[in-house]
Amino acid sequence: MIRGQKVLLDRDLAALYGVETRVLNQAVRRNIRRFPPDFMLSLTREEIRNISQIVICSDIKHARNVFAFTEQGVAMLSSVLNSERAVQVNILIMRTFVRLRQMLASHADLARKLEDLERKYDRQFGIVFDVIRQLMQPPDPPRRPIGFLVEEPRINYRTRRKGK
């Protein structure tokens, strides 16, 4: 990691693409507009010194320019190099992007269907929740009866007949 980014050094990428480091750096300099700062870092002397302590490469200390490439820079590098391996890597990158786009499209369809289901069930459960809320409300207090209340003992107007 350099400057908080995961990077690959130009020497490692040259070996990966099957070209000399000098050829890789020439291709980069000829197409420098394709490598903004978030694609490629030009290392300072201090960074080179720090790397030379970690990397087992004796000539890295004496290199004038050492480039470090981010993930996007590696993809861009495959499009500016003319080696057979670089062409194959570029083709694989394009196929991967197409596959990712297809996967994202299918995920978008699934997300849309899930959202429709959520809306449908939200409506259905909304009705259930409304009923539950109504049941949770305390009952209305009893109403006072209309008219006068007479508080007298109850008189039996019917008498039971014995014998029947």
Q: What is the mean pLDDT of residues 66-79?
A: 86
Residue 164 tokens read as 């029947």
Q: Are 49 and 61 in contact (CB under 8 A)?
A: yes
Q: Tell me, what's the pLDDT at 14?
A: 87
Least confident of 2-6, 112-116, 120-124, 160-164: 160-164
pLDDT in tens, 16-63: 888 898 899 999 999 999 999 989 988 888 887 777 667 656 555 556
Name residue, tokens 């960074």.
47
Report for 10-14, 48-52, 57-61, 146-150: range of highest mean pLDDT: 10-14
Which residues on adjacent β-strands are paired with residue 68? 9, 41
Q: What is the pTM of this model?
A: 0.53
Burial grade of 17 (CB within 10 A; 0-12, 13-18, 19 or more): buried
Residue 110 has pLDDT above 60, yes or no: yes
Residue 97 has pLDDT above 90, yes or no: no
Q: Are 18 and 84 in contact (CB under 8 A)?
A: yes
- Among the listed residues 68, 112, 108, 74, the one whose alpha carbon sits nearest the alpha carbon of residue 93: 74
